[in-house]
Structure 1
Amino acid sequence: MLFRILHDERRSELSYLLADVEAREAVVVDPHGPDLPVLQALLAERGLRLRWVLRTHHHDGLQPLEFSSLCRLDAPVVQGEPRPGAHTGSHGELLPFGNEFLQVLATPGHTPDCLSFVWRDRVFCGGLLSVDACPHQPQPAQPETLWDSVTQRIFTLPDETLLFAGHERQARAVSTVHEQRRWHPFFAATSRDTYLARVIALQDNASGAQTPRALNA
């Protein structure tokens, strides 16, 4: 197996390439337009066919050319929001590549149609746990739904499950369920009402109030 992390330091964004080298099939998670030359070079170097382009979330309203750029990778684009030309991922769906597969988890909240993707002991969860770290959306679109996605879909996974972020914070790309369940400043050891109050505080930047900063994952 091949696993690569692509880090755009300027934008603090992370993308991931997984490949079954023997079967010569690959998937990419959360690629962005500027990533395409590097991705295409990696695929060509190994003689890999791209099977899926997976998007945990997107901000196409702010980046209207992004989707069409990803379509140039000549693989189905999987995302939560229905759109002509995209494959709408459904909860529990299996996405095969080579002799491997990823499972789709519906984890809305950061955006209304967020997905996460499970591969072996790893979950690619995009901006799900970032809360205030996304440069395009500094607060969740649906705070109540986000609480349910995190506490019921992610924090119920085994402690050792690895969580891979879409936005890096403090040069970190990966954490574990155990770490986030115990120490996440928005979700750990708190009530739903307290969490919602903290998210509401994010909306009042002018007040200068200090709010917790999310761990990277």
Structure 2
Amino acid sequence: MSLLLRPLFEKTSSTYTYLLADMKTLDAIIIDAVDETMQRDIAFIRELGLNLKYIIETHVHADHITSSYLLKRYFTQAKIVLGSVNEIMCADILLNDGDILSFGVYTLSAMTTPGHTNGCMSYVVGNQVFTGDTLLIRSCGRCDFQGGSAEKLYDSIQKIFTLPDETLVYPAHDYEGRTMSSIWEEKQFNEMIGLNVDKQIFVSRVNKIKLDLPKKIHVAVPANQDCGAKKL
């Protein structure tokens, strides 16, 4: 068995797209694909001769437009996947906690991890977890729009922390050039929630964060609620 994992970076929003494939069957999935880098992703999938089965979103993003809809036009057999809380009509599959998708001999297990938004999901593949904007490297997602809740975010990260310490963490963003972490590292060194910080302190830390809204939020959210089709 041979699992291909390729983190692919979009620099404007500092977003990581993840392409995973079983290199024996060539079945593949892509997580958090971005409109601006769609042609790169298509070329890479075609170069490797992959059969794209699932186009997966961790949540409805506010800082970029997804390429889900357009990718499905190129790879017509692929299915668009989100968490069921999102109730996105353009999705082919809406996942609940514990649901499983297969690609080749590999499985993806869905975890509901609300907090950054109410519809956030994380996905476990083997000893890897793709955490979206829920758990970042040494940080966590903001909670001040799209039904965000610092209390829910704390519970979601604690849920992620039940994974084995050696599990590798792949977030949707990093602004320092880092590509991955581990559950053990984040338990020890995460500045927001590491070292068993209690819920009250975490909530206070998160709620003190004051950031400008994402520049594309008023365009990206409506577009992403239609899987990126509204950009056309």
TM-score by length of 2: 0.79
SS of alignment partner, residue 171 of structure 2: strand
Q: 1:139: Cα distance to partner?
A: 4.5
Seen in structure 2, the aligned counterparts of structure 1 residues 93 and 138 have a Cα distance that, compared at 3 Å, is closer
Deviation string for 1:129-183 (max 9, x for gaps)? Answer: 239776xx674711111100001x1111111110001001311120011111111
The answer for the alignment partner of 1:84 in structure 2 is: 89
Give the residue type in structure 2 aligned to 1:193: Q
Seen in structure 2, the aligned counterparts of structure 1 residues 12 and 63 have a Cα distance that, compared at 3 Å, is closer
Seen in structure 2, the aligned counterparts of structure 1 residues 202 and 114 have a Cα distance that, compared at 3 Å, is same
The answer for the alignment partner of 1:193 in structure 2 is: 200
Higher relative CO (Cα under 8 Å, sequence separation at least 6) belongs to: 2
Seen in structure 2, the aligned counterparts of structure 1 residues 53 and 65 have a Cα distance that, compared at 3 Å, is closer
TM-score by length of 1: 0.84
Seen in structure 2, the aligned counterparts of structure 1 residues 6 and 198 have a Cα distance that, compared at 3 Å, is same
Deviation string for 1:94-135 (max 9, x for gaps)? Answer: 10111211111111111101111101100001111239776x
Seen in structure 2, the aligned counterparts of structure 1 residues 34 and 139 have a Cα distance that, compared at 3 Å, is same
Give the residue type in structure 2 aligned to 1:82: E
Contact 2:32 2:66 in 1 (8 A): no
The answer for the alignment partner of 1:213 in structure 2 is: none
Distance 1:204 1:52 in 2: 33
The answer for the alignment partner of 2:59 in structure 1 is: 57
Distance 2:194 2:131 in 1: 17
Structure 1 unaligned regions, length at least 5:
206-217
SS of alignment partner, residue 171 of structure 1: coil
Runs of 4+ off more than 6 Å: 131-134
The size of the alignment, in residue pairs, is: 201
Seen in structure 2, the aligned counterparts of structure 1 residues 195 and 53 have a Cα distance that, compared at 3 Å, is same
Seen in structure 2, the aligned counterparts of structure 1 residues 22 and 13 have a Cα distance that, compared at 3 Å, is same
Distance 2:114 2:211 in 1: 23
**Equivalent runs, 1:23-38 vs 2, <5 Å:** 23-38=25-40
The answer for the alignment partner of 2:222 in structure 1 is: none
Distance 1:187 1:51 in 2: 35
The answer for the alignment partner of 2:160 in structure 1 is: 154
SS of alignment partner, residue 111 of structure 1: coil
Distance 1:88 1:30 in 2: 15
Give the residue type in structure 1 aligned to 2:204: A
